[in-house]
């Protein structure tokens, strides 16, 4: 099984970190993974995206042109990547920040008000983890335990409060 | 042997250099390789090494010349326009037989070009770049793990043959993260650096590091002696991967990032019934001519398709290797555009005809 996910949004939303959590979880499970961030001129325009592949086979091209899943946290990202998703793929939309509907009818669309949820929970900067929780749940890429294990290893042990918030955010998305 | 860690190519390369015993790094920031410098800046002071951000790439390469001449393991890193600035120094280093490692995380060119991945520095890396009769050993990894492994090899090759070695990646390899494992390395079999200007301690004659030889016969002798070492490199250090090449109708030839994309295209073409193989040069110089002999050993009724992120540079070496015995085609994207598996597949279908 090969999961090819594009994460996209504004700089500062933790887009690259979202991808890193998924890649890291895959690595811990002994799978082949790659994480390719955008670093081009579009980043100067405030948007960020990354391509994350998790596969039981060696990762050939790290560049994703036909994602099996798309996570978008702003309107321009939905515009940019919506058409690229494979038929039958999954699109995850932060509905707090994206008002329009997805125009595809051959993919599964999950809308989640991640940014509003994060604000309500008092963890405004962790909307990204809420949406990652939803992604993992709906794609079955990992179990909850595997996801929790990955974030626990990724957040330094010295930052216990930060870890707790991240787990809370992932859980909120996972159960949404 | 350790656990796998998820690391960015640029950072993994820097860590691998440190583990290979590099304690001196001179650089100047440029996208997409700045993380090499940043990592060195953070780590070197903690392990008693030297990190120095020079005032320009020209200074950095001359600092490398000096440190390498003193016999220590030294590295510099840059991207295409910065590597152009270093060429004079590289030629001097080659002319003075000083080992060092030079990293080029290639971006689109010419000129300042762009900052996206490219392979358009192939000519510069393999055919000179600087002036004079010299070669760089050029290593082209295609994954972060290979980048790490080749970094250690680069220092060993440099020390063994007394020559500068280039690691050539591209923006994608520099920026992407993959799991890597750092293996224990052992440089104990390498020769002592008796030539180094590391101080005589009043016990030996002084050593001189120099690339100026006014007497023509003296210079010729030195160039000839160096050529013998290049011949040894060609005999001992050629590296490549060759998959399904003997029975293929179409043999893809690609290195670095492009080889990974070509492999995706190859798998898709095989599903459609095309007989496709791939040659992936790991050393760009010395170029793996023997891989082509292997591919041509059963029959010559085949097409070699060079795929590059350039307008066609390595394809010239492919033509030399094939030497008129088989058909050679080219597909490339440039300017920082990365080819897609679909585009390569379309080219395979164009060559192979409808199935």
* A143 has a chain B CB within 8 A of its CB: no
A33–B264 C-beta distance less than 8 A: no
Q: CB within 8 A of B8, min separation 6: which ones?
A: B35, B144, B174, B175, B176, B177
Mutate to test the interface with B, among A57, A60, A150 (most CBs of B within 10 A): A60
Q: In terms of domains, do B169 and B246 share one? A: no
B268 shares its domain with B231: no
**Do B174 and B289 reside in the same domain of the chain?**
no
Instruction: Report the mean per-residue pLDDT for chain A.
Output: 94
> Residue A170: is its pLDDT beyond 90?
yes
Q: How far does B162 lie from chain A, in Å, by closest CA?
A: 35
- From the list A20, A24, A60, the residue facing B263 with the nearest CB is A60
| B300 inside 8 A of chain A by CB | no
Asked if the C-beta of A24 comes within 8 angstroms of chain B's C-beta atoms, the answer is yes
- What percentage of chain A exceeds 70 in pLDDT? 97
Tell whether B281 and B220 lie within a shared domain.
no
Burial class (CB in 10 A: 0-12, 13-18, 19+), B259: buried
Residues of B in contact with A34 (CB under 8 A): 176-178
CA B354 – CA A15 distance, rounded (Å): 42
From chain B, the residues in CB contact with A40 under 8 A are 114-116, 336
Task: Verify that B216 and B250 share a domain, yes or no.
Answer: no
Can you say how many angstroms the Cα of residue B42 is from the centroid of all Cα atoms in its chain?
25
Residues B178 and B275 in one domain: no
Strand, helix or coil at A176?
coil
User: B164 with B98: CB under 8 angstroms?
Assistant: yes
- Residue B175 touches partner A, C-beta closer than 8 Å: yes
CATH code at position B245: 3.40.50.920
pLDDT of residue B259: 97
Closest alpha carbon within chain A to B108: A40
In a domain, B220, yes or no: yes
Residue A41 reports pLDDT greater than 70 = no
Beta bridge partners of B304: B251, B328
The C-alpha angle with vertex B85 and arms to B88 and B227, in degrees rounded to 5, equals 35
Q: What is the CATH number of the domain that holds A52?
A: 3.40.920.10
Quick check: is B263 in a domain? Answer: yes
Looking at the predicted structure, is the pLDDT value of residue A3 above 90? yes
Domain assignment present for B101 = yes
Lookup: tokens for A161: 């409060």
- Does one domain contain both B244 and B181? no
Mind telling me how many Å the CA of B154 is from chain A's nearest CA? Answer: 24
**How far apart, in whole angstroms, are the C-alpha atoms of residue B323 and residue B49?**
48
Picking from B6, B172, B260, the nearest residue to A60 by CB comes out as B260
pLDDT at B2: 59
Q: What is the pLDDT of residue A12?
A: 87
CATH number of the domain where residue B174 is located: 3.40.50.970
Q: Determine the Cα–Cα distance for residues B141 and B139; give it in Å rounded to an integer.
A: 6
Q: What is the pLDDT of residue B1?
A: 44
Q: Which residues 91-120 in chain B show a CB within 8 A of chain A? A: 114-116
Q: Does B195 map to a domain?
A: no
Query: Among candidates B312, B286, B287, B304, which has minimal Cα distance to B245?
Result: B304
pLDDT reported for residue B49: 97
Whether the predicted pLDDT of A42 surpasses 70: no
- This complex has an ipTM of 0.93
> Is there a cis peptide before residue B274, judged by omega within 30 degrees of 0?
no
Residue numbers of the domain that contains B294: 240-352
> pLDDT digits over A48-94, tens only?
999 999 999 999 889 898 999 999 999 999 999 999 999 999 999 99
Range of the domain at A117: 2-174
Query: Which strands, in side-by-side order, build the sheet including B177-180?
Result: A108-112, A90-94, A69-72, A2-10, A47-55, A32-37, B177-180, B5-8
Taking CB atoms and an 8 Å limit, are A35 and B176 in contact across chains?
yes
Whether B149 maps to a domain, the answer reads: yes
Number of domains chain A contains: 1
Q: Distance (Å, rounded) from C-alpha A51 to C-alpha B133?
A: 43
Determine, yes or no, domain membership for B275.
yes
Whether residue B217 is found in the same domain as residue B249: no
Question: How confident is residue A157, by pLDDT bands cut at 50, 70 and 90?
Answer: confident
Same domain, B185 and B247: no
Q: How many domains does chain B have?
A: 2
Beta strands in chain B (DSSP E): 5-8, 24-27, 50-53, 74-78, 100-106, 137-139, 164-170, 177-180, 240-243, 250-253, 276-281, 283-285, 303-308, 327-332
pLDDT at site B60: 98
In a domain, B342, yes or no: yes
Residues in chain B, pLDDT under 50: 1
Q: Please report whether residue B140 resides in a domain.
A: yes
Is residue B172 within 8 angstroms of chain A, CB to CB?
Answer: yes
Token pair for A18: 């979202």
Q: Are B117 and B338 in contact (CB under 8 A)?
A: yes
Residue B128, phi-psi category: left (phi > 0), alpha (psi -120 to 50), beta (remainder): left
In a shared domain, residues B229 and B343 = no
* DSSP reduced 3-state for B212: coil
Exposed/middle/buried for residue B273 (C-beta within 10 Å: 0-12, 13-18, 19+): exposed
Asked whether the beta carbons of residue B115 and residue A41 sit closer than 8 angstroms, the reply is yes
**How many CB pairs below 8 Å do chains A and B form together?**
60
Residues on chain A touching B36 (C-beta within 8 angstroms):
none
Length of chain B: 355
Distance CA A58, CA A27 (A): 12
Q: Do A62 and B257 touch (CB under 8 A)?
A: yes
Q: Which two tokens stand for residue B151?
A: 């970094």
Answer whether B196 touches A (CB < 8 Å): no
**CB–CB contact B172 A61 (8 Å):** no
Which of B:260-279 have CB within 8 Å of A? 260-261, 263-264, 267
Order of strands, edge to edge, in the sheet holding B164-170?
B50-53, B24-27, B74-78, B100-106, B164-170, B137-139, B283-285
Together in a domain, B119 and B256:
no
């Amino acid at each position: 099984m090969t999961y090819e996910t594009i994460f996209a949004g504004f700089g500062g939303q933790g887009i690259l970190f979202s991808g890193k959590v998924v890649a890291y979880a895959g690595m811990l499970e002994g799978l082949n993974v790659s994480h390719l961030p955008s670093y081009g001129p579009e980043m100067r325009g405030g948007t960020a995206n990354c391509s994350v592949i998790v596969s039981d086979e060696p990762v050939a091209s790290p560049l994703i042109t036909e994602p099996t899943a798309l996570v978008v946290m702003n309107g321009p990202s939905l515009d940019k990547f919506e058409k690229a998703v494979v038929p039958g793929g999954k699109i995850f939309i932060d509905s707090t920040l994206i008002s329009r509907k997805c125009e595809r009818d051959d993919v599964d669309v999950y809308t989640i008000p991640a940014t509003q949820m994060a604000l309500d929970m008092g963890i405004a900067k962790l909307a990204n983890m809420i949406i990652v929780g939803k992604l993992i749940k709906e794609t079955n890429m990992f179990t909850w335990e595997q996801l929790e294990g990955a974030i626990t290893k990724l957040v330094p042990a010295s930052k216990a409060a930060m870890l707790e918030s991240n787990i809370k955010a992932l859980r909120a998305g996972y159960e949404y | 042997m350790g656990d796998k860690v998820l690391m960015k190519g640029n950072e993994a390369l820097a860590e691998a250099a440190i583990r290979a015993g590099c304690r001196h790094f001179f650089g100047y920031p440029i996208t997409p390789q700045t993380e090499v410098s940043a990592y060195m800046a953070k780590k070197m002071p903690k392990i008693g090494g030297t990190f120095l951000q020079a005032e320009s790439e020209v200074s950095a390469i001359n600092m490398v010349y000096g440190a390498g001449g003193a016999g220590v393991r030294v590295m510099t890193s840059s991207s295409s326009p910065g590597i152009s600035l270093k060429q004079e120094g590289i030629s001097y280093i080659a002319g003075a037989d000083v080992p060092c490692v030079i990293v080029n995380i290639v971006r689109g060119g010419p000129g300042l070009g762009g900052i996206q991945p490219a392979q358009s520095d192939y000519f510069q890396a393999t055919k000179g770049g600087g002036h004079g009769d010299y070669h760089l050993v050029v290593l082209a990894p295609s994954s972060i793990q290979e980048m790490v492994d080749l970094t250690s090899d680069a220092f060993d090759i440099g020390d063994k043959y007394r020559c500068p070695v280039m690691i050539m990646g591209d923006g994608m390899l520099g920026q992407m993260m993959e799991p890597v494992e750092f293996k224990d390395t052992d440089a104990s079999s390498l020769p002592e650096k008796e030539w180094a200007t590391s101080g005589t301690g009043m016990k030996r004659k002084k050593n001189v590091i120099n690339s100026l030889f006014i007497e023509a016969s003296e210079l010729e002798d030195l160039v000839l002696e160096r050529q013998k070492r290049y011949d040894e490199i060609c005999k001992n250090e050629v590296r490549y991967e060759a998959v399904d090449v003997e029975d293929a109708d179409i043999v893809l030839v690609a290195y670095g990032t492009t080889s990974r994309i070509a492999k995706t295209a190859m798998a898709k073409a095989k599903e459609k019934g095309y007989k496709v193989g791939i040659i992936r040069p790991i050393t760009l110089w010395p170029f793996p001519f023997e891989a082509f002999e292997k591919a041509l050993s059963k029959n010559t009724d085949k097409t070699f398709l060079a795929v590059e992120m350039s307008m066609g540079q390595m394809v010239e070496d492919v033509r030399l290797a094939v030497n008129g015995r088989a058909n050679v085609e080219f597909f490339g994207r440039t300017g920082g555009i990365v080819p897609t598996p679909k585009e390569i597949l379309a080219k395979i279908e164009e060559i192979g005809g409808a199935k």
